[in-house]
Structure 1
Amino acid sequence: MQDLIQRFFQAAAWPMQTPVPYSPFHLCAAALGVFVAVRAARKLASAPKERVLFACGSILAASELLKQGFLYYVVNGRSYDWWYFPFQLCSIPMYLCLIFPLLSGPGMARARRAVCTFIQDFGLLGGVMALAEPSGLFHPYWALTLHGLCWHFMLIFLGLYCAGSGGAGRERAAYLDTLPLFAACCAVAMLINVAAHPYGNADMFYISPYYPNGQIVFHQIALEIGITAGNLIYLTGVALGGWICHVACRRFAHRRASDHFTA
């Protein structure tokens, strides 16, 4: 069975020259993907949130399983690399989309709004920033490169969909309601980093207590002031980025509402 699975992934291991950030491939793929994400978010804004979010979560989960299998059987020779454990900031929308239909009770309105607002603010942030600094998206295999690109296009779609559908809040209080969820995710990420340290280089949320932050700019900050302080500044920067996306999505939602009224 193991050999059969490995042959399946080997058949999909089409090599490619690793794309260069800001190359024509990167810019054209990003422009096309963002265009499709924006158009889809506007077209599906009136579709039922439970169906859209769960469908997207299922697609993300299936693609993540395939990615993990590809990494295990093709890239790492049947050994697991904890660096790729699926609990980065960009992974959280997958889990939230899958559990969203469960938040259907009469007292769940605030939780549903917080989930949608988190996807809008932090999911969109993750999608945009990964495309802006794409070194982690590009690999010497078509399967991994396309997975990375399409995953982050999906995040942009989900963020804009949650904004345009009215599922996410627009006020400051709605953003503040996402911060406990963000803090809980950070705590889980740190727990994984510590627990997995004897087995590999886990760096969930890029806040490992063992290595300087790997993100551009923040890596140098960590080298200058220390890992712990650097991680705190990084998380503060992520929270600020979420707020910027929150404010930006007000305009998207307002424009979509204006277009609907005009129509």
Structure 2
Amino acid sequence: MIKNFSLHCIEKVLFFIGIFLLTSEILKQLLLTFVMNNGHYNLWYFPFQLCSLPMYLLVLYPFFHTEPARNTILGFLSTYNLLGGIAVFFDTSGMHYPLLILTVHSYLWHILLIVTGILSGIFLVQKSVPMTPLSCPKNIKRQPTDASSCRLLPSFPRITLLYILFALIAEYLNHILDPFGEINLFYINPDYRMEQIFFVKIGELYGNNSAILVYILATISGAGILYGAWNLMIRFYSSH
């Protein structure tokens, strides 16, 4: 089934999802500022959470022309952002707003994160599975189809470095914008008590900084599990 997906089609769908996310986020910020907050911008909704990143990455993706850069973005979307899209449904309290349209937007946004993550993973599986004799163009030398010959995903350390880079940017923004209002990007601002489900108890028992550290490590571990799942899928399709 996965082998029937067109790479070009997936790229187009991902780009249009990115445009939709960007456009809808602009409208969301306008509603939050001018309808809900009387023209005052609320830093709490500054769009640089883990779940905000696909909006930027999908729009910028066509401007990256090297395969390693594109694969790293797709690897990030299929692991860290897919994890974020799934995890939020374990606690949906933060997805509800006084305006119904914003609540609907929040649910749709995270559903699209899951769709984006799955499509990105399928794209990488398609690129990584060796071509069979039937699918191989005449001008390209046919490759063996055993599992050992497949190219795997971009390295997980590289994808994780991208996550760490974004987390550092988020914490820097937390630091410089803290004096101007409430802000807790990536939920790692030490000035705010950890309230993420499962991790709030760690904060109560061992302190907020410990909860933040465990939260980051758990995010990396969860993304690693998804990374392993995609690699297993590559090996499966390479052997069939």
- Normalising TM by the smaller chain, what interval? 0.7 to 0.9
Measured against aligned partners, the alpha-carbon deviations of 1:135-163 in whole angstroms (never above 9, x if no partner) come to 11122322111100110111111111011
Match for 1:66 among 27, 34, 37?
Answer: 27
Superposed CA offset, 1:149-189 (max 9, x none): 11011111111101112268784762221011011000010
- The CA distance in 2 between the partners of 1:205 and 1:160, in whole Å, is 22
Report the aligned-residue RMSD: 2.5
Q: Could you tell me how far 1:48 is from its partner in structure 2?
A: 3.9
Q: Aligned partners of 1:247 and 1:84: how far apart in 2?
A: 33
Aligned to 1:150: 108
Q: Does 1:91 align with 2:48?
A: no
Map 1:94-113 onto structure 2 (within 5 A): 94-104=55-65, 108-113=66-71
Kindly tell me: are residues 92 and 42 of structure 1, through their superposed partners in 2, closer, same or farther at Cα, counting changes over 3 Å?
Answer: farther
- TM-fit CA distance, 1:226: 2.2
Tell me by how many angstroms 1:213 deviates: 1.3
Match of 1:127 in 2: 85
What is the percentage of aligned positions where both structures have the same residue? 32
Measure the CA separation in 2 of the matches of 1:238 and 1:146.
26
- Give, in whole Å, the separation in 2 of the partners of 1:248 and 1:148: 27
Corresponding residue for residue 37 of structure 2: 76
Is the 8 Å Cα contact of residues 53 and 100 (structure 1) preserved in structure 2?
Answer: no
Q: If the length of structure 2 is used for normalisation, what is the TM-score?
A: 0.81
CA positional deviation for 1:230: 1.9
Against the structure 1 CA distance between its residues 143 and 254, is the aligned structure 2 distance closer, same or farther, given a 3 Å change threshold? farther
Provide the TM-score with structure 1 as the length reference: 0.74
Unaligned runs of 5+ in 1: 1-38
Bigger Rg, structure 1 or 2: 2
Asked whether the 8 Å contact 1:164–1:253 carries over to 2, the reply is no
Give the aligned length: 216
Q: Deviations over 1:59-80 (max 9, x none)?
A: 1000000110111011112111
Using the alignment, how far apart are the partners of 1:116 and 1:172 within structure 2?
A: 9
Where structure 2 has 5 or more consecutive residues not aligned to the other structure, the ranges are 129-150
Partner of 1:139: 97
Alignment partner, residue 203 of structure 2: 222
Pick one of 187, 200, 205 that aligns with 2:181. 200
- Closer/same/farther in 2, CA of residues 164 and 218 from structure 1, 3 Å limit: same
